[in-house]
Amino acid sequence: MTREMLKALSGPELEQLGIWVREETKERAARHKQETIAKIKALAADVGVSVKIGGTRGRPAKPATDAQGTKARR
């Protein structure tokens, strides 16, 4: 698609194109994530390690503490 083709679209057509682009981007990201998880599991299995990939990212948040090491108020 060229810039000239975009300029030729009407407002509603351009809005619909934006919706489709966002949907496609989201689907590709999800597909890439699943492929990456499968590769990680396959590599781990090759060296005899099992991995569990959960639904959260990173480490759990630590509770906030003040200078004395006690829980800070929020």
pLDDT band at 73 (very low <50, low <70, confident <90, very high): low
Q: How many CB atoms lie within 10 A of CB 19?
A: 9
Q: How far is CA 13 from CA 1, 10, 40, in A?
A: 14, 5, 40
Domain ranges of the chain: 8-46
What is the mean predicted confidence (pLDDT) over 9-22?
A: 96
Structure-model confidence comparison of residues 58 and 43, the more confident one: 43
Q: Residue 72: what pLDDT?
A: 60
Q: What is the sign, positive or negative, of the torsion defined by CA atoms of 8, 11, 13, 17?
A: positive
pTM equals 0.63
